[in-house]
Amino acid sequence: MSASWHDSRDLLPAASRLIIERAHEELLAGNLDDQRLAQVRPLVRESWERSWRRRVGPEAAPTLDLATDELDAYRLAHPLASAMEMIRALLLPGDSEDAGVIIAVGDQAGRLLWIEGDRQLQSLTDDMGFVAGANWAEDAVGTTAPGTALALGQSVQIRGAEHYNRLVHPWSCSAAPVRDPETQRVLGVIDITGGAEVVSPQARLLVDATARAVESELMVARLRSRSEASNRPHAAASRTRATSRATLHVLGRDRARLETEASHEESMIELSARHAAILLMLAVHSRGLSAEHLCELVYGPGVSPDTLRPEMVRLRKVLERRAPELVPESRPYRLPIPLETDAHDVLSLLDRGAHRVALTAYRGPVLPESASPGVVEFRDSVRRALREAMLSEASLDVLLAYAEIPEGQMDAEILRLALEMLPARSPKRAGLVARIERLE
């Protein structure tokens, strides 16, 4: 074992472990007032309750959200890729394959991107799904250091039986989120997993310090890049700001939010309902729309395109100030660069079978207050895709979680299917039966 991890004290004695295990069983049974829960650390107890309320299975294996091909491409483009050498140097000095610990680096959604360290330990953790591409967010597998660190936005240590998922009880872990040094947006998480040695005070200090060192390195690299760019010969009049990514957030929002990112700088614009409908239609119909067709999608049939044109002028002025690369072209109307939407992200996750992640990403209906015909049609198509995936492919845990959101609460077919899938003695059956009877 590396000298950095030479601290094997038993940080969770047998008596404490037994109390925690019994408290965990009471929580899973729905006995949230059991006095044993008061003996569990508040951070852990609150995470357990969040996991329980989200219907996370206590022995559920994590979903593999990124297959090999897409994982490789995603890792290559991830902001933390450039920091991996530093992370290895700080957390895995010497012979990393005999380090006695595993380090994992994940993205802001809890998906593990890199797993390195002790080869023998990796062969054991593979069995519980602790592999690159797997989703270890709190709402996917419950209380863990990486998932709970992301949920709380702070470093976290989880010891053995404190994990919500029983499959992870043999392990302990410490993790810290990594933030963008300028925007403070969470970029990902750094985790160390192993025995009791990884939840010592020294281990927490080390993983925190590593996260801060990575943030500093990202800032230095960014400043260096800007300095080099400013020193290159260029014609100021012809410089344009190249947008690397633009995303329109429309789920559960009456006023859409447009996020753009260029040269590591982010911009957020809150759009009016009409501008949101126009941009969404141009994102859905990426090949372009005639003025007549776009007008019909936004205002409805029988409305003259002359009604649309003044609104397009106002939208262009908004975008010219904050996101000039998104200013729509005309004849036909179309966007010059791709515009992603959070609704399309949900549809993509459903297509890949990542139902739990898709359900978590679904924040509500598309622009719920919009009456634009094109928006209404797209809103319904997203709802149908989500519901059909739940009915045909979702696991029991995901189905029960869907039954708790507005779309599922009044859906008798969803509730009946969940009832059929529940074990005969499940305490959840009575509640489902009562809900079905009220609907009927």
In sequence order, the 6+-apart residues with CB closer than 8 A to the CB of 382 are 343, 346, 347, 365, 366
User: Where are the alpha helices (H) located in 54-108, listed in sequence order?
Assistant: 68-77, 84-91
102, part of any domain: yes
Same domain, 170 and 72: yes
Q: What is the dihedral of CA 37, 42, 44, 45, to 10 degrees?
A: 40
Whole-model pTM? 0.53
Write the pLDDT tens digit of every residue in 137-179: 999 999 999 999 999 999 999 999 999 999 999 999 999 999 9
Q: How many CB atoms lie within 10 A of CB 69?
A: 8
Q: What is the pLDDT of residue 181?
A: 87
Same domain, 147 and 254: no
Same domain, 89 and 211: yes
Same domain, 87 and 214: yes
Q: How far is CA 134 from CA 55, 149, 278, 342, in A?
A: 19, 17, 36, 21
The residue from 341, 376, 401 where one domain ends is 341
CATH number, domain containing residue 317: 1.10.10.10
d(CA 379, CA 374): 9
Residue 109 has pLDDT above 90, yes or no: yes
The residue from 296, 323, 341 where one domain ends is 341
**Domain count of the chain?**
3
Write the pLDDT tens digit of every residue in 334-375: 999 889 899 998 898 888 777 877 887 898 999 999 999 999
The residue from 192, 225, 258 where one domain ends is 225
DSSP state letters, 179-226? E-TTT--EEEEEEEEESGGGGSHHHHHHHHHHHHHHHHHHHHHHHHHH
325, part of any domain: yes
Same domain, 72 and 218: yes
Same domain, 292 and 336: yes
d(CA 210, CA 4): 13
DSSP-based three-state secondary structure for 92 = coil
Q: What is the pLDDT of residue 236?
A: 37
Query: Residue 237 — very low, low, confident or very high, per pLDDT cuts 50/70/90?
Result: very low
The predicted model gives 203-225 an average pLDDT of 88
Identity of the amino acid at 64: L
Same domain, 122 and 166: yes
- Say if strands 186-194 and 102-107 run parallel, antiparallel, or are unpaired: antiparallel
Q: How many CB atoms lie within 10 A of CB 6?
A: 10
Which domain does 313 fall in, by range? 246-341
357, part of any domain: no
Q: Which of 297, 301, 292 is closest to 279 using CA atoms? A: 297
The values of phi and psi at residue 113, to 5°, are -110, -40
Same domain, 95 and 199: yes
Q: Give the H or E element holding residue 174.
A: strand 172-179
Structural contact between residues 178 and 151, judged by C-beta atoms closer than 8 angstroms? no
Write the pLDDT tens digit of every residue in 279-294: 999 999 989 999 999 9
DSSP secondary structure letter of residue 272: P
